[in-house]
Chains A and B, each alone.
Chain A
Amino acid sequence: MGKIRLIARLVGRDLRRRPGPALLLVLAITAATATLTLGLVLHGVTSQPYQQTQAATHGPDVVALISGESGLSPAQAAAEVRTLSHAAGVTGYNGPFPVASAVLRYRGLTEGVAAEGRAEAPASVDRPKVLDGTWVRPGGIVLERTFAEALGVGVGGRVTLNDRSFRVVGIAVTAAVVPYPNMCGPAYGCVFSRSGPNNFNPGLAWVTEPAARSLASAQAPLSYLLNLKLKDPATAPAFVSEHPPPPVANSPVLSWQTLEAGYGSEVHAEQTVLTPAAWLAGLLAIASVAVLAGGRMAERTRRVGLLKAVGGTPRTVTVVLLAENLVLALTAAAAGLAIGWGVGPLLSSPGAALVGTPGAPAFSLSIAGLVVAVALVVALASTLVPAIRAARTSTVSALADAARRPRRHGVLIRLSRGLPVPMLLGMRLIARRPRRAVLSTASVAVTAGGIVAVLAFHATVHLNAATLSNGLGNPMIDRDEQILTVMTVVLVALAILNAICAAWTTVLDARHSSALARALGATPGQVTAGIAAAQVLPAVPGVLLGIPLGIGLYSVAVNGIGIIVPPVWWLAAAVLGTLAAIAALAAIPALADARRPVSPILQSETA
């Protein structure tokens, strides 16, 4: 008990005494765990909200669609879909409902709309859930929620369908039709007649049946929808394959599983952004934690010596050093889970077209366990080697608080000859710790890769946005942009943290030589510039490496489809901006250290 108490005491007191580096470490791991939580939570979203919506709307297990382009007369179409309603395994149905393909106008916006004719009484199958307002009534229109959001119209607004005015009386969601802007897709056809206005991403609306019929025209004939309930919903795909659609254009029979996949595409793009971002954030966090852990160990050299001098075994010393970082990792995991859980609903709200409640993302104990485990592994992996090394350090030199003796790299030292003083100091610092320089290069490459991937995504989004019709906002792209912004903030924050950690560690490591240089006449500015140079020089190859890395990463994320390389000036600005930021961030701890008096530093190294 005494030993556990001692370890707890040492950990607690050290954290209280040096909160700054501990906070940096917590921030680094928090950022990674928050990103991981978001990724896992969003992953759960792809499967669950559709079932929720289906249950809440008495959604169909099978939807049969007869397109207006089929050439069938209304009576033929109705007869065709009715045969399905009597098939084996069907326990309920409603429809066929007439669907008119009309042109909707609202405040200068124009978009196609599939206006489904419905009775005012609730249906037994596919009963769209009204989230705001009321269900259809004469003169009134109910809009599918995503479509309403894209139009920016709410209950009480007025829209025109084929120049006939309708009052928006409700906003609703359904599980029977894939929502705007993906209502039409190669996998599930289109209830909207393309022979009419064919340059639209149509949305869905519900009107009364008479109103729907009145909106039809010879150019845009009525389509029909039939909703079926099966005895065993799991057999829907088998039912569909046993009952092939009529051999007419664009008239599929769809299982709920196919529709669910269509809904899933809504969140696929979010995962496209989140997955590589989570990887990048994880890599950056590991790099930051590794640098921080190394720096923190260097700061604790004397503490290690002291513990050993009074009888601490190498194992005790290792445990004390590890315990502190594990406590920080647990704290960070808790914070990351809380942030991921809190932000999750904002990013992973199941989509405007789905019922799932924002604020209740797919969060489970297994996610919590995984996030905590990852945080602990990150802390352990990055701390174990320096902790063991510290425990093995000679007690005498640890008590003298001497920095680990650097290796001399003749080539780098020869290269530095003849350089201006700051570059010379920078090059010599790199020569002292070449492995740290490699780690810096790798971290910067990851950061730059993330930035370039984000730029590539922006370039793609801009191109897609430019091709969107009619000036309507695309809710999916808006959501992707939101996620992208959050992930960019996370990545940049981590990158800043990483740069500060690397600079801080270099400052600690170079404290004695910097003090000596100042004692010999170097100005604080020269020393600061030297440390900045030590950070910028390895960053140059890292930034350049980040360009193909970022494009490659984005390419992997989108399966190589539709890759847009960002404009050269975007890339040039990213490279120069990153290098300038690294230099500026390195200067902060360097300047702070250059203000310390020289004498105590030199004395502490020689004591």
Chain B
Amino acid sequence: MNDVGASVLRTRGLRKQYGKGEGLVRAVDDVDLEVASGETVAVMGPSGCGKSTLLHLLGGLDRPSGGELWLAGQRIDQLGERALARLRRDKIGFIFQAFHLMDELTAAENIELPALLAGRSARWARRRAVELLQRVGLADRARFLPSALSGGQRQRVAVARALVSDPQLVLADEPTGNLDSQATVEVLRLFEDLHASGQTLVIVTHDSRIAATADRLISMRDGAFVDETRLTGGSAGNLGAVAGLTEMCEREV
């Protein structure tokens, strides 16, 4: 297991409901969660169990119906839209299944986006983007538009974008959901690096190989946590072997 520190993320009785009366749907139902600094938590569960909704709540993309949500010691469930936006660009990085890169911006420009929104200078943003592109192995693709990149490369750009502001928490929603095996391996390696560097991560996934990189695995059903497993090591080196990951990677790379 990675060295973990103080709590970065904490929820108490977090709820998200839609509809009312007989049509009431509890997408997230009374969730208590605590994620320590440097920890990687994977949330798994069947489609429609509320994983993505939970992630949206944790990142301030959606507002909870009830409960408390704390990030880095600050209660954020009652913040206004503007404050949430600032929080997202300063403290949270998002990685989406559908990448959500701006089609008209190059890889480097997509990475610079949150930094420029945060008021960083263009020079700083460009230097950081170059640095991150090197880190994700795409230094030679800086000027490529997303349409000229493969799925795996796009997701690596999205990962770089999520890291540009040195966020305290990275939230990943099905990061390999749209990728083929080769691309999945590329992204898995990146997540291993993130985990090794002490980045706090919450990953929602269907993919057991991704979940195997985590320190903790939470199972979700009908909006609620039904099981929690602390994984030993949380590195692909150990758990990846159990899941057959290493062999697959060697075969495919």
Q: Which residues of A contact B (CB under 8 A)?
A: 1-3, 5-6, 9-10, 13-14, 16-17, 302-303, 305-316, 392, 394-396, 399, 607
Residues of B within 8 A of A17 (CB): 103-104
The answer to whether B121 has its CB under 8 Å from any CB of chain A is yes
The answer to whether B159 has its CB under 8 Å from any CB of chain A is no
Residues of B within 8 A of A394 (CB): 62
Contact A396 B56 (CB under 8 A): yes
Residues of A within 8 A of B161 (CB): 310
- Shortest 5 CB-CB distances between A and B: which pairs? A311-B89, A13-B104, A6-B116, A313-B85, A17-B104
Known: A2-B116, A5-B122. A314 touches B104 (CB 8 A): no
Looking across the interface, which residue of chain A has its beta carbon closest to that of B113? A310
For chain B, the count of residues having a C-beta within 8 Å of the partner chain is: 35
Most chain A CB atoms below 10 A, which of B100, B109, B112:
B100
Q: List 13 A-B contacts (CB under 8 A).
A: A2-B121, A2-B125, A6-B113, A6-B116, A14-B104, A302-B100, A307-B117, A308-B88, A309-B100, A314-B81, A314-B82, A316-B117, A396-B62
Looking across the interface, which residue of chain B has its beta carbon closest to that of A395? B61
Contact A310 B122 (CB under 8 A): no
How far, in whole Å, are A212 and B86 apart by their CA atoms in the complex?
Answer: 90
What is the number of contacts between chain A and chain B, taking CB atoms within 8 Å?
A: 89
Contact A314 B62 (CB under 8 A): no
Residues of B within 8 A of A3 (CB): 116-117, 119
Contact A311 B100 (CB under 8 A): no
Contact A311 B85 (CB under 8 A): yes
Contact B61 A313 (CB under 8 A): no
How far, in whole Å, are A360 and B86 apart by their CA atoms in the complex?
Answer: 54
Contact A395 B117 (CB under 8 A): no
Looking across the interface, which residue of chain A has its beta carbon closest to that of B112? A6
Contact B119 A2 (CB under 8 A): yes
Set A9, A10, A310: member contacting B114, Cβ < 8 A? A310
**Which of B67-75, B90-98, B132-140 faces chain A?**
B90-98
How far, in whole Å, are A368 and B248 apart by their CA atoms in the complex?
Answer: 68
Known: A2-B115, A395-B62, A396-B61. A313 touches B82 (CB 8 A): yes
How far, in whole Å, are A302 and B122 apart by their CA atoms in the complex?
Answer: 24
Most chain A CB atoms below 10 A, which of B85, B109, B124:
B85
How far, in whole Å, are A13 and B120 apart by their CA atoms in the complex?
Answer: 20
Residues of A within 8 A of B102 (CB): 10, 13, 303, 306
Contact B88 A309 (CB under 8 A): yes
How far, in whole Å, are A531 and B96 apart by their CA atoms in the complex?
Answer: 35
Residues of B within 8 A of A16 (CB): 104
How far, in whole Å, are A302 and B99 apart by their CA atoms in the complex?
Answer: 12
Contact A1 B121 (CB under 8 A): yes
Residues of B within 8 A of A316 (CB): 85, 117
Residues of B within 8 A of A2 (CB): 115-116, 119-122, 124-125
Looking across the interface, which residue of chain A has its beta carbon closest to that of B83? A313
Looking across the interface, which residue of chain A has its beta carbon closest to that of B63? A394
